[in-house]
A and B are shown apart, each in its own frame.
Chain A
């Protein structure tokens, strides 16, 4: 938290805000206040640690994997569209979590995207990726 606040205060804010003709509240004022609070809170927490920490590196890597799958699925949707990309995304997700029952695989891979397409694109007439 201290590091995050320091990066915001000393690098992000100076390089991504502008000066303005305002007497009291500059564009960088509130961001600076919040980043200073984050730094102070971080020091306080370091001195008087409270609250649970439930961080598991192995579990976090698995979460990161699903994050990357989500990003890849999104990129695929932007390339080939929802109809083709959604079944691929769901297939990957369900296979990775270990789902092998044909009924649920078919429901997830075929019925689910088809239902969404029907509801969004056909009934509500809204565009899908």
Chain B
């Protein structure tokens, strides 16, 4: 159990002006990039990671958390204004958000999205803060065999849930694990797949792989789609009624059950690795419509529709950190990027984190809560500004993003070799996406590769040829069985689209 003094010290750390500034900066950046369709907080986080290298761990991670939280709301802005979700999780928000814009109530819709997003986020953060230390205690009792079994189970879930084909997901996982073996092997320190480049002794640069696969691949794709004058036009009428520009307390309170239901759905789904926030948003929307007294009004500008989607997709963000902080397993790509940032700062996420870095953990919890407050304030003030931002042409935005990626990776890796690796993985990421192989699964497998191999090695040494030892490890056996079941259920039972 963590000392009360450490908890208080951690929370106090999060409330320093220095940390609050980075949380605020992250929220602002997140809302900005979330509002630009196609950019999104994941790309912003990926670009920002190398720049956080020079920072202390707490402001660095708090900044990334701020970007993620800001982006979750930011994605709703173009979804509501131009029927184009800024982020995938805002796709469901278009269903009632855009009709409200057409009805002359865009500000009302955006404010509803903001208030319910913050509420859902706060709910899952509170669950995270109360549940995570308990899960960590349980996780500490797990040995290498159990951890290996857990990782196999996590890979099976992630491979099946992300993307449209379990087989392709498994292939992407395997390829990600293979790329993680580049460099010195952890057991014997012999070089593998160096190809004569001494820069690869430490393996493929983490930031190069992440940025290349996630950011630069998408930048190349978006630039290739532009032909001639690019841009998006957004107009907000000045002749709006006052009640159409605000959300009253009565309107917000009338959605309380919808918001609570969405928050619970988002929190539960967020704690399961592999389920992204768009799944939570659609499930919450469908449930809200089914239980509504006026289901026909959904899809025509019902604020309950916005409340359902935004509370759910934002509740995922806090819950995603539960498996991340307690087991070292990322729940989604944003969590995977946070893992990479922690690793860059020499911090290994997992159950020991609460014992070894308790002050940092509670500092992060404080930063999470403050990010919600700052998200609310910034969103309230910035709604009109963000609406103008999305008018900037894609040619400028993606050129900016490309240059930032180059510079960020150059600084982080200390040379042009890392940038070259980034471009190679960008091309690889593009082709993987084009042929239906999930780059997210690849990146998560790559991040976990070293730990996976280490736990495999430890497990084999413990077993030492006596596989009957597994019978004395019921938790591991159950996890292996669940992995096989999930591969069958998600791979063969669940209908998928044919290629």
Contact = CB atoms under 8 A, between A and B. Distances in A.
Is the interface on chain A under 10, 10 to 19, 20 to 34, or 35 or more residues?
35 or more
Contacts of A27: 185, 187-188, 190, 192
B419 A128 contact: no
Contact of A22 (B187, B223, B394, B406): B187
Contacts, number: 203
Contact of B420 (A30, A74, A108): A74
A51 B497 contact: yes
Contact of B406 (A20, A52, A64, A74): A74
Contacts of A86: 403
Contacts of B346: none
Contacts of B394: 97
B173 to A, nearest CB: 8
Contacts of A23: 461
B60 to A, nearest CB: 14
A60 B434 contact: yes
Contacts of A71: 420, 423
B167 to A, nearest CB: 5
A16 B499 contact: no
A102 B181 CA distance: 48
6 contacts: A41-B174, A50-B166, A51-B165, A55-B435, A94-B395, A94-B396
Contact of A30 (B453, B498, B499): B453
A118 interface: no
B435 A74 contact: no
Interface of A: 1, 4, 8, 12, 16-18, 20-25, 27-28, 30-31, 34-35, 37-38, 41-42, 44-45, 48-56, 59-60, 62-67, 70-71, 73-74, 77-78, 82, 86, 89-90, 93-94, 97-101, 104, 107-108, 112-113, 116, 120, 124, 126-129
| Chain A interface helix/strand/loop/mixed | helix
B80 to A, nearest CB: 26
Interface residues of B, number: 71
Interface string B351-373: 00000000000000000000000
Interface in B415-429: 416, 419-420, 423, 426-427
Nearest to B195: A16
Contact of B171 (A17, A45, A113): A45
